[in-house]
Amino acid sequence: MENNLQTCIIDEHDDEDNISLLLKSEFPEFEITFKSNDILQAFEFLSRRSSDLIFLNSELIDDNTGDLFLRYQENSQIIFITNSEKSAIEAIKKGVSNYILKPVKKLDFVKAVNKALENFRKSKIVTLNTTFQSKINLPTLQGFKRVNIDEIIRCEADSNYTFIYLADKTKVIVSKTLYDFEKHLSDHNFFRIHHKHLINLEHLKEYIKGKGGQVVMADNSVLDVSVRKKNDFLQKIV
């Protein structure tokens, strides 16, 4: 891991120094970019600069400022520093999943930071995967067309080819089977309603009852739902 993870310590001075020393000795990959026991200074700093890890003394916050800090959990890992188990339980009720008790013990500190690091890595992996998978390459005779997955309305099988219908009303012909697209797109709210049709449920406009029924898509196409797929399809959209 590169030595560029940043931490913010919001705590009373004595414990702050203790945390700083433990962090430097046990986790040198972290750079301490902010230290203070002033909650308002911390808010001002974090409004300008993000931090990968935040140590926050629960005694320095009230209900309002505590709720505000929880907003930073989307991009930061927060470790609450508490004086009692009761305070820790209250923090957990508010959504904090990681804390250490005073006086801070080395073993507890290492466990808490390792947990934060694991959560941090998982969140980054999810973010990277989501970003990477939000687009798809559609091979063409000239090369490939790169499109946002959410722009695909539906995919239609034609032997070993697939027609891809896009929100901009264009159609791309790809020399891959519909099964290939089903494997890739099923995790993006696509559903195969028929051996010929794979649809993006985000672009579904209407369902028409029938033996299998039919769907009307955002491009006003009307597609059959196979009898075999009907129940699974209805469960998916209800």
What are the tens digits of pLDDT across the range 192-202?
A: 999 999 999 99
The per-residue pLDDT for 15 is: 56
220 DSSP 8-state letter: -
* pTM to 2 decimal places: 0.50
What is the 3 state secondary structure string of 33-82? EEEECCHHHHHHHHHHCCCCEEEEEHHHCCHHHHHHHHHHHHCCEEEEEE
The last residue of one of the domains, among 109, 132, 155, is 132
Q: How far is it, in rounded angstroms, from Cα 87 to Cα 103?
A: 14
Identify the CATH number of the domain in which residue 193 sits: 2.40.50.1020
pLDDT of res. 2: 43
Ranges of residues in the chain with a pLDDT under 70 are 1-4, 13-17, 63-75, 88, 91-97, 122-133
- Counted residue by residue, the chain has a size of 238
Residue 4 burial class via C-beta count within 10 angstroms: exposed 0-12, middle 13-18, buried 19 and up: exposed
Q: Which domain holds residue 224?
A: 136-237
What pLDDT, on a 0 to 100 scale, did the predictor assign at position 3? 46
Domain boundary pick from 132, 161, 179: 132
Give alpha helix (H) positions in the chain.
13-26, 39-48, 63-70, 85-93, 106-133, 178-185, 227-237
Quick one: 11 and 123 in the same domain?
yes
pLDDT at 183: 87
The tally of domains found in the chain comes to: 2
Query: Domain of 54: which CATH number?
Result: 3.40.50.2300
Please give the pLDDT value at position 48. Answer: 79
Among 110, 132, 154, the domain-final residue is: 132
pLDDT at 124: 59
